[in-house]
């Protein structure tokens, strides 16, 4: 099913799937932008963790910062499926950003997400992982790199529509 874009949107859908329909395993497939030179356009990224610029996670009212992480059970199965299918993949942190078209500005002398090992930017994993954790469900984000902040390479809408199927094959292998 579609979940819309961003933490608030997937937050609503994942909450309802878990609490109203009893869903125990939630897998997000979608696109992401490469932040790491390791990730090339069309590579698959499996989000082990999700950093975020969103306020979504803070709204749980925890007494500190929550680390949004995937279900190890789903992560382990996804990696095994990707290996078996011979798919190029990377596992690590993704950034769930609230901005689709973020400015290129950075505070002088500050660290970048890439400096911290973050592989790619997307918009939903942090909320998905947080909702799943709060409800005792499993969640995983699997993305295909559609563009690169490193190389400037981008894919067309038609390419994204017709050729980004590896992440779906891996997700279906988890069923």
> pLDDT tens digit string along 32-74?
999 999 999 999 999 999 999 999 999 999 999 999 999 999 9
Q: Does residue 148 fall inside a structural domain?
A: yes
Residues of the chain with pLDDT under 70: 102-109
Q: Does residue 153 fall inside a structural domain?
A: yes
Q: Does residue 88 fall inside a structural domain?
A: yes
**Which residue matches tokens 């790491």?**
36
Q: Does residue 11 fall inside a structural domain?
A: no
Please pick, among 65, 98, 104, 147, the residue that the annotation labels catalytic.
147
Q: Does residue 113 fall inside a structural domain?
A: no
Helix-helix angle 166-173:72-85, to 10 degrees: 120
Note down the domain range covering 147.
24-38+48-62+69-95+127-175
Q: Does residue 108 fall inside a structural domain?
A: no
Asked if 132 and 71 count as a contact pair (C-beta separation under 8 A), the reply is: yes
Calculate what percentage of the chain has a pLDDT beyond 90. Answer: 88
Active site residue 147: yes
Q: Does residue 1 fall inside a structural domain?
A: no
Question: Residue 29's domain is classified under what CATH number?
Answer: 3.40.50.1580
How many domains does the chain fold into? Answer: 1
Check residue 100 and give its pLDDT.
Answer: 83
């Amino acid at each position: 099913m579609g979940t819309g874009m961003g933490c608030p949107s997937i937050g609503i859908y994942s909450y309802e799937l878990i609490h109203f329909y009893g869903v125990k395993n939630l897998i997000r497939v979608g696109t992401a932008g490469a932040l790491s030179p390791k990730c090339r356009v069309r590579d698959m990224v499996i989000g082990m963790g999700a950093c975020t610029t969103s306020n979504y996670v803070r709204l749980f009212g925890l007494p500190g910062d929550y680390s949004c992480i995937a279900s190890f059970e789903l992560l382990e199965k996804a990696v095994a499926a990707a290996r078996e299918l011979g798919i190029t993949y990377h596992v690590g942190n993704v950034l769930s950003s609230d901005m689709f078209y973020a400015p290129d500005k950075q505070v002088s002398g500050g660290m970048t997400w890439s400096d911290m090992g973050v592989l790619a930017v997307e918009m939903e994993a942090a909320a998905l992982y947080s909702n799943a954790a709060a409800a005792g469900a499993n969640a995983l984000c699997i993305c295909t790199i559609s563009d690169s902040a490193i190389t400037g390479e981008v894919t067309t809408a038609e390419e994204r529509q017709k050729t980004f199927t590896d992440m779906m094959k891996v997700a279906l292998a988890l069923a």
